[in-house]
Amino acid sequence: MIHPSYGIGVLRALLRGAVSDLGPPPTSFTVLLDSNAASVTQDAIESALGELDLPIHLILWEASEAKKTLSEAENLARNIIQLGVDRESVLIAVGGGVTTDMGGFLASTLLRGIRWGAIPTTLLGMADAALGGKTAVNLPEGKNLVGTFHHPLFVICDVNTLATLPARELTSGLGEVVKTAFLSGEDSFRQLEEATPSELRQPGDSLLTAVSEAGRTKMRVVEEDPEEHGVRKLLNFGHTFGHALETAAGHGNLAHGEAVALGLRCAVRMATDLEIAQSGVAARLRSLCAKLGFPNEYPGTLPGIQELCTLLSRDKKVHAGNLDLILPVEPGKCLLLRGVETQAAAEVIHKEL
């Protein structure tokens, strides 16, 4: 496995260091840049890469979940090939989770695989989406159903790029921060409980600590299990429920982090019903999600049991039609419950939401 460098600090300095340590010298750089992130990243990126005196191909892309598709991947791939890349070229994906997912997917398939790096500019990307080498595009049937494992050479996070992020996007990213803090243990989870929402929504010590802890926790898990055969499954805490709800709501109606937060509520509800969760854990998770501004119910009309069963059955971790679910016991401890029927999971969603 490739062990990526994971840097938190000033974008220009970190990028200069990362590209100087790429192994075989690159022949060119292709920068897939979310147009929403251009104002806070483009100058620093062009300055850092410009010192290397190599061709730089900049592709401004209007990223959105609705454009994370195979047809859009083909359009971008053709554009990149026409720019003249070769197998020693390096792709750098700059933006939110949609952009790093798409950039990693392109890098994994272009010319049977080229090197890439990620510069996430959303809290969701810094805390989760850009880390771990999972790349994917969506199908109408669900999120991230076509993808690869292709680990980036570097992941660079500069929390100052979050200053212009819309409030809803910041809150969405906190969904992954809550998940990772719970997995990390009591100290991380309590630290998040004690932080004020305003501190976590602006560049500063609290946000820097939250991003650092989330990123390094995930990287430790990924290094132990890079392709999700064992302990990495824990990172799916809240996601099986959340992905089904996100798909049902349609693009833009339920942000990913919002869906994860609802998924955490469903997971702790099932854990409580099965007497797996320790006393007080459900109340703490629900209270933290509410404090951070997450919805406590599904937007609109909740899909029926059968529709939810269909959506849950498309989860990538399904085995023989049944689910593997991560259920919380206490901060720092979760259990993998295998062979859960989709009907049982759908009923939990209806109980909780």
Q: Which residue numbers are catalytic?
A: 112, 134, 176, 218, 228, 232, 236, 239, 243, 256
Contacts of 101 (CB under 8 A, 6+ apart): 68, 129, 134, 135, 136, 137, 144, 147
Pairing relationship of beta strands 134-139 and 333-340 according to DSSP bridges: unpaired
CA distance between the termini of the chain: 40
Report which of 163, 353, 325 is spatially closest to residue 248, judged by C-alpha positions: 353
